[in-house]
Amino acid sequence: MSRKISFTGIERLALYYRYLTSLSRSERAFISSEELAKAVGHTAAQVRRDFSCFGTFGTPGKGYDTAELEATLSEILGKEKTWNVVLVGVGNLGSALLAYRGFQSQHYTVVAAFDTDIRKIGKHLEGLEIQDSRDLADLIPRTGAKIGIVSVPGDAAQEVVDALVSAGIKGILNFAPTRVTVPKGVIVQHVDLSIELDRLCYGLVHPPM
Amino acid sequence: MSRKISFTGIERLALYYRYLTSLSRSERAFISSEELAKAVGHTAAQVRRDFSCFGTFGTPGKGYDTAELEATLSEILGKEKTWNVVLVGVGNLGSALLAYRGFQSQHYTVVAAFDTDIRKIGKHLEGLEIQDSRDLADLIPRTGAKIGIVSVPGDAAQEVVDALVSAGIKGILNFAPTRVTVPKGVIVQHVDLSIELDRLCYGLVHPPM
DNA sequence: GAATGTGAAAATCTTCACAGCT
DNA sequence: AGCTGTGAAGATTTTCACATTC
């Protein structure tokens, strides 16, 4: 018990959780750290260590009760409730994200979409009316959203992020190729597509050895 | 000199590089590790350590020659040539990626797009004719592409990845919510959008302290 | 017997701090 | 004086290995 989960550990927790939900109506009531590890590409020790950060919920000799583990992970990951999400920037990527199933799931709902382009404002997409970005400060607080997705051009990102933060957003998923800064208490996750490609590219140029 | 760059270090290199290119026609001929660090949100020591993995190209008392550094990073990151890329899965996300500027840049060109949906095959998108995924093995070798982007549904991902690998693809950017396996010598980068959200969500539920 | 939970070791990554170059 | 490059220290993350529990 009691050690802080590592940053990458959270990603693993989400993977364990996803795997468990994919098992769904399997008969198997228990799963071992070994099997979980294999499923997500890590080691059994890693799995046990990750869990140990949050308590002790396995049974020696048997493993983890799948239903119970799923529920526990759900709670740890904050999936007990559905999160309202807003999206700013309905360009190519933004529209795709609006339609993305992972973002319109049991746990997340996009409740508002914004853009500055007058030609897009008022149009409907995936059941949402696109709003004027200038109304962001008014509209977001009413939705109760705490998460914002930013898919605007790089040079607009910081400005949008500032507006989101003012409007009460606490977590930002930033797809713009710009490292934005936020005040303490707000979290940003960067999803930087061209840098993912760059990393791949580096790997190809520098073979493992 | 001589220490292996860390996994995350490569991401930093790409950020340094991006920052340098954004400076473009600035007068300043030299930049210090301090300034580079500030620009990308790391420490000066980290910057110097990252560079030291590849040689010694700074000048004590002055800093790094911006043009020279840009060229060196370009080479390290494998950006001397333009990489041909193929994309499989022209759904919402795939179409957006096709249109994404970061993927159609000086260093990357998407040269072929594939889908299994008969209604999409033959259509044109971003100047590319969508090809039948079954022809992947024939067509890819002709393009000389070594990088593949996978944006198909999760249950099709492994199958597509296997086909890409057979067709000679060495690096895969996988947007499907499935951890795929590949033979040695092939690299996969996962871009797992719902897990990014999960991580954000975890951060919101567990405030720093 | 089988698999957990966890100290302790190992590996990896980051920062410090300073000698040495310009 | 100013800033790099790097050995050594520190911090973090992963793995080992085994006592403990079922």
Average pLDDT, chain A: 94
Chain A from 176 to 195: CB within 8 A of any B CB? 177, 179, 181, 185, 187, 189, 191, 193-195
Residue B117 above 70 pLDDT?
yes
- Asked whether the beta carbons of A35 and A29 are under 8 A apart, the reply is no
Integer distance in angstroms from CA A39 to C1' D18? Answer: 25
Residue A148 above 90 pLDDT?
yes
Q: Which residue has the tokens 């979409």?
A: A113
Encoding tokens for residue A85? 């999400």
Q: State residue A209's pLDDT score.
A: 59
Q: Give every CB contact of residue A190 below 8 A, 6+ residues apart in sequence.
A: A174, A179
Which class for A35: exposed (0-12), middle (13-18), buried (19 or more C-beta within 10 A)? middle
Residue A2 above 80 pLDDT?
no
Q: State residue B209's pLDDT score.
A: 59
Q: Give dist(CA A74, CA A13) in Å, integer.
A: 9
pLDDT tens for B140-152 read: 999 999 999 999 9
Helix or strand or coil: residue A166? helix
Residue B208 above 90 pLDDT?
no
- Asked whether the beta carbons of A29 and A67 are under 8 A apart, the reply is yes
Pairing of strands A64-65, B83-88: unpaired
Q: State residue A182's pLDDT score.
A: 94
Chain A from 111 to 170: CB within 8 A of any B CB? 146-147, 170
Measure in Å the smallest separation between the Cα of A18 and chain B Cα atoms: 9
Q: Which of A17-31, A73-87, B6-20 is the least confident region?
A: A17-31
Residue A179 above 70 pLDDT?
yes
pLDDT tens for B67-83 read: 999 999 999 999 999 99
Could you tell me the strand order of the sheet in which A83-88 lies? Answer: A124-125, A128-132, A108-115, A83-88, A147-150, A171-174, A187-190
Q: Do you know the residue count of chain A?
A: 209
Measure in Å the smallest separation between the Cα of B135 and chain A Cα atoms: 24
pLDDT bin (cut points 50, 70, 90) of residue B100 is confident
Q: State residue B25's pLDDT score.
A: 66
pLDDT bin (cut points 50, 70, 90) of residue B118 is very high
In B, which residues are within 8 Å of A78 by CB distance? 201-202, 204-206
Q: State residue B55's pLDDT score.
A: 93
Q: State residue B103's pLDDT score.
A: 83
Measure in Å the smallest separation between the Cα of B91 and chain A Cα atoms: 9
Q: State residue B207's pLDDT score.
A: 83
Q: State residue B101's pLDDT score.
A: 81
- Closest residue to B200, CB basis, from A189, A200, A205: A189
Q: Which residue has the tokens 């592409």?
A: B145
Residue B27 above 80 pLDDT?
no
Q: State residue A25's pLDDT score.
A: 66
High-pLDDT (> 90) share of chain B, %: 89
Q: Give dist(CA B19, CA B14) in Å, integer.
A: 9
Could you tell me the strand order of the sheet in which B171-174 lies? Answer: B124-125, B128-132, B108-115, B83-88, B147-150, B171-174, B187-190
- Asked whether the beta carbons of A195 and B14 are under 8 A apart, the reply is yes
Tell me which H or E stretch contains A148.
strand A147-150
- Asked whether the beta carbons of B86 and B137 are under 8 A apart, the reply is no
For residue A28, the 8-state DSSP code is -
pLDDT tens for A61-109 read: 999 999 999 999 999 999 999 999 999 999 999 999 999 888 878 899 9
Please state the rounded mean pLDDT for residues B148-158. 96
Q: State residue A101's pLDDT score.
A: 81
Helices (H), B109-192: 136-143, 157-166
Q: State residue A95's pLDDT score.
A: 94
